[in-house]
Amino acid sequence: MTRVAIADDQSLVRMGFRMVLEAQPDIEVVGEASDGASALELARRTRPDVVLMDVRMPGVDGIAATADIAVELPETRVLVLTTFDLDEYAFGALRAGASGFLLKDARPEELLAAIRAVAGGDAAVSPRVTRRMIELFGAQLPGDSGDGTDAAAALTPREREILVAIGRGLSNTEIAAELFLTESTVKTHVGRVLAKLALRDQVHAVIFAYEHGLV
């Protein structure tokens, strides 16, 4: 059972998400919050698997709440909600620790797929959003002058290949097809890459790959 918290300052939006989620036998809604401060408190109290987090809320916004959740509750994943697919606030939340990016007008099946992907440790960010995220943060990334060899030295050649593919914005399914592997094998490699590099999830693997010149 995937436990989900909903944080949005619009009650109708929260109601709509709750109706979709509660119709699923494998998803439980553990609570709602109308701003970042109450979202953090809700997450502390209920320890959800996923928080649906609107980034533009009054008072404490979704970026600050996401950053706090990422530090305090590393097992809880944050899925950012936004109205615009190129929302700089949402990109800021990804940098702060969010595991995915979802438009509020996404179809129910897209919402459910994103929640399940994030709960399972995958990223939920489209290649278009990934490219825009890197454009936005590229000038801010410290990187290094080399090719990231030192930072990624612990990776095997196959794991490095997987990391580069993640950095290019490929999904596990696309990586499997490109490298002639099964999806379960790809997931195993991804898990090892994240563990060796101490990365929270695939969104942060994308950022790492660009920071260290691997893509």
**Which of residues 104, 126, 148 is at a domain's end?**
126
Look at residue 120 and give its three-state secondary structure.
Answer: coil
Is 165 within a domain? yes
CATH code of the domain containing 17:
3.40.50.2300
For residues 111 and 9, membership in a common domain is answered with yes
> What Å distances lie between residue 8 and 31, 128, 147, CA to CA?
11, 24, 41
Domain that holds residue 43: 2-126
Is 152 within a domain? no
Tokens 């097992």 belong to which residue? 75
Q: How many domains does the chain have?
A: 2
**Which of residues 105, 126, 147 is at a domain's end?**
126
> What pLDDT, in 10s, does the model give residues 77-116?
999 988 876 667 777 888 888 888 888 888 899 899 889 9
Q: What is the DSSP string of 146-206?
A: S-STTTTTTS-HHHHHHHHHHHTT--HHHHHHHHT--HHHHHHHHHHHHHHHT-SSHHHHH
How many CB atoms are located within 10 Å of the residue 168 CB? 17
pLDDT score for 141: 46
Is 134 within a domain? no
Is 81 within a domain? yes
pLDDT score for 150: 63
Taking 70 as the pLDDT cut, the residues of the chain under it are 85-87, 126-151
Residue 8: both structure tokens together: 């949005």
Q: Where are the beta strands (DSSP E) in 34-155?
A: 50-54, 77-82, 100-103
Please tell me the distance from the alpha carbon of residue 91 to that of residue 116, in angstroms, as a whole number. Answer: 21
- Strand-pair partners of 51: 5, 78
Tokens 């943060």 belong to which residue? 137
Is 138 within a domain? no
Is 149 within a domain? no
pLDDT score for 138: 56
> What Å distances lie between residue 45 and 10, 73, 137, CA to CA?
22, 11, 33
For residues 104 and 163, membership in a common domain is answered with no
> What pLDDT, in 10s, does the model give residues 26-41?
999 999 999 999 999 9
> What Å distances lie between residue 129 and 74, 168, 185, 203, 214, CA to CA?
24, 12, 26, 11, 19
Is 19 within a domain? yes
Please tell me the distance from the alpha carbon of residue 100 to that of residue 136, in angstroms, as a whole number. Answer: 16
For residues 116 and 183, membership in a common domain is answered with no
Neighbouring C-alpha atoms within 13 Å toward the C-beta of 171: 12
pLDDT score for 145: 42
**Which of residues 111, 126, 141 is at a domain's end?**
126
CATH code of the domain containing 203:
1.10.10.10
pLDDT score for 153: 85
Sign of the dihedral through C-alpha 151, 153, 156, 158: positive
Strand 2-7 versus strand 27-33 pairing type: parallel
Is 186 within a domain? yes
